[in-house]
Structure 1
Amino acid sequence: MTLQPPGEYHRDLIRLADLTLHTDVLENYRFVDCTLVGPAVVVPLNGTEILHCRWDGDLGAVLWAIDVERPAVIGAIGLSNCQLIGCTLQRVGLAVPASQVDEISRGFTA
């Protein structure tokens, strides 16, 4: 896979760390039917959509609850205005506000 600027990836195998060499936030990316590989923890921001994706791993291990009082998260990959559609995420955690864990759990496919 050749790294590209923000844009679309289709049916690619992508190591998330390769996209974050110079930034902690991926903006305006669209991943369709890709395999996204960690180790990584992603934080959805600013309108990011995650639709029909499969997460490898136990729900309790994948979801990371963030206290709403916490001002920042260091070491995670922010996804801003991104779309993940039909992707498989391997060795990738999902950090979300603690108040949203139950809602997200209901739509979770592992």
Structure 2
Amino acid sequence: MTDQVQSPFAAVGPGPAYDKVGIWLPQLYLEAAREGQFTIENRTFTDCLFEGPAVILPIEGCHFDDCFFGEHGGDPNVLMLAPLGGYQVVGAIPFRNCRFERCRFLGVGFTGAPDFLQQLVGLLGGETLAPSGALTDKPKA
């Protein structure tokens, strides 16, 4: 796919570090895909606002530190989608070896391995279930 249609938004750019920026997730993915990279890898996001609609798929090595995952009305399960086809999920934006520090998510769902989803539910419910360290610190309310 080499579609040259221009986005109406300013380019997010290839990183590897982003600080205090708003990121529309579909645009971040399309910018990477246009360069032949179909997974967002080896990037650090600090104090960023991620906007959807989108679903994030942390594949491996992703860390979420002191993040606000989004409004869930007291039920963190509404932010998560369990993959029904094993580990392949079409339409989700895959991330690998990325760090999210004090980021906020708006209109974003999360999917992934069952242990990741369980850790996220535990964090959002106030109970830390992160023995692997993939999710650390309780998110801001």
**TM-score band w.r.t. shorter chain:** 0.7 to 0.9
| Between 84-93 and 48-57, the greater mean CA deviation after superposition | 48-57
1:19 aligns with 2:23: no
If you compute each CA radius of gyration, which structure gives the higher value, 1 or 2?
2
4+ aligned runs moved over 6 Å, structure 1? none
TM-score by length of 1: 0.86
Aligned to 1:63: 80
Q: 2:96, 2:115 → 1: CA distance?
A: 20
Partner of 1:91: 107
Q: Percent identity?
A: 27
Flag the structure with higher strand content.
1
TM superposition shift of 1:99: 4.2
1:13-45 residue CA offsets vs partner (Å, 9 max, x unmatched): 110111111254111111100000010000112
Cα deviation per residue 1:50-92 (whole Å; 9 max; x = unaligned)? 111102221121112235x614111100011111110000000
Tell me the distance in 2 between the aligned counterparts of 1:81 and 1:71: 17
TM-score, normalised via structure 2 length: 0.69
Preserved contact between residue 32 and residue 86 of structure 1 (Cα < 8 Å):
yes
Which blocks of at least 5 consecutive residues in structure 1 are unaligned? Answer: none
* Greater relative contact order (CA < 8 Å, ≥ 6 in sequence): 1
RMSD over aligned Cα atoms: 1.9
Secondary structure of 1:66's partner?
Answer: coil
Question: 1:23-102 residue pairs with structure 2 within 5 A?
Answer: 23-58=37-72, 59-67=76-84, 70-102=86-118
Count of matched residue pairs: 109
